[in-house]
Structure 1
């Protein structure tokens, strides 16, 4: 690959990083705390590419002045590099079209599991839920409590959860992807939706986002079912896809 193509690819890749950093699309790949690193990486790549192009232009002008006698070889030299520009097509695709966040396909291909944090391994680490009629919880917190909390802090409590729909073999689940650093280490946590109208659940579109309220069915989150607790539905409504689709 010619140096000119390499430099332009470097600028485009850096520009793509800056674009997703400022539009918020970076949240599809990394945690919010990584934004400054994404911006820094993109800025460095753009700067390096621009500096390299500037140096090459100066070198080309000097070479042209030295070859002012003109033997016609310069045009042939540039013609041989045209095919290399085709390598810019996939880079432009990344720049213009951001892939979606991980969704139901990742859930069905990956075994769901309860978060294996120190809190998940220590029943005493689960504090009582707030004294509210409906308690909003992260799906990962709900799944961890359902599978590991020996004190039963979820029992008899109505909670609110939000996530995307996974339709799999006649079963409807609410899911979230949990990441530690970036989308590469993501794993799913899921909740089986029980009760309510079967037709209403079956009619939910794959990967659509919903918010539900309900109560856990005690003892349903086990190792045998990959720590997927049952939630007896009380209400369900569809919501827009959040800008930040992951839990941490």
Structure 2
């Protein structure tokens, strides 16, 4: 059995990749949607490679045993400790880790947008206007046209807590995958029921609360005066795209 350890490992890893990318949308916890085809192809290749390697080794074994002796050119069994490599593959297959949450968000210092203060495009007509947490933050801190003024907005994210009773609707933004995630957050004020538990997913409806000078630390974090806070389920894609 030890001779087939690497084959089994390849099949397990491939099956795990296919489980999260082909048979579910769990891959969205780790990478952007556009990478799904590459994950599916990688999973199929790994499974096929593992199967082919197993067939080749079985053929070699049958040939050697048929001759009545070992020729010595078979693939040697690896060390037993190599079987520990199956544990991460099994973990991903059976217990895929959750998306990044409040712990990751709280570790990162406030990130300021690179575009600086300037005019932003007009918001669409009608209230409430749907914005991502990142869009709201960029307009609140950098929009010289004050496009958020007088508008009712709606944002969805998970809850993080700050000091002195402050709390935020938060979202992680990715360029490629979870490894490059950065944090966008908006302080929520005026919610009738107070702060929900950490990592609770919510939709906040409210209005912008201006503070500080545009483009300065005094404008961070942006603030929304909440008129409604509703608990929601975690979306299939928990990240915003930069």
Using structure 1 for the length normalisation, give the TM-score. Answer: 0.86
Residue 127 (structure 1) aligns with: 121
* Cα distance in 2, alignment partners of residues 93 and 194 from structure 1: 40
Moved over 6 A (4+): none
Superposed CA offset, 1:167-209 (max 9, x none): 2322110000000000000001000001233xx223x111010
* Cα distance in 2, alignment partners of residues 215 and 109 from structure 1: 27
Question: Is the helix fraction higher in 1 or 2?
Answer: 1
**Is the alpha carbon distance of 1:38 and 1:102 closer, same or farther for their aligned partners in structure 2, counting shifts above 3 Å?**
same
**Is the alpha carbon distance of 1:3 and 1:219 closer, same or farther for their aligned partners in structure 2, counting shifts above 3 Å?**
farther
* Cα distance in 1, alignment partners of residues 179 and 209 from structure 2: 32
Q: Does the CA-based 8 Å contact 2:14-2:44 persist in structure 1? A: yes
**Is the alpha carbon distance of 1:108 and 1:223 closer, same or farther for their aligned partners in structure 2, counting shifts above 3 Å?**
farther
Paired residue total: 232
Q: Does the CA-based 8 Å contact 2:188-2:224 persist in structure 1? A: yes
Using structure 2 for the length normalisation, give the TM-score. Answer: 0.88
Q: How well do the aligned residues superpose, as a CA RMSD in angstroms?
A: 2.2
Residue 40 (structure 2) aligns with: 39
1:179 and 2:209 matched: no
1:246 and 2:232 matched: no
Residue 73 (structure 1) aligns with: none
Residue 100 (structure 1) aligns with: 98
Q: Does the CA-based 8 Å contact 1:114-1:140 persist in structure 2? A: no
Q: 1:121 Cα shift? A: 3.6
* Cα distance in 1, alignment partners of residues 219 and 12 from structure 2: 42
Residue 10 (structure 2) aligns with: 10
**Is the alpha carbon distance of 1:226 and 1:61 closer, same or farther for their aligned partners in structure 2, counting shifts above 3 Å?**
farther
Residue 86 (structure 2) aligns with: 88
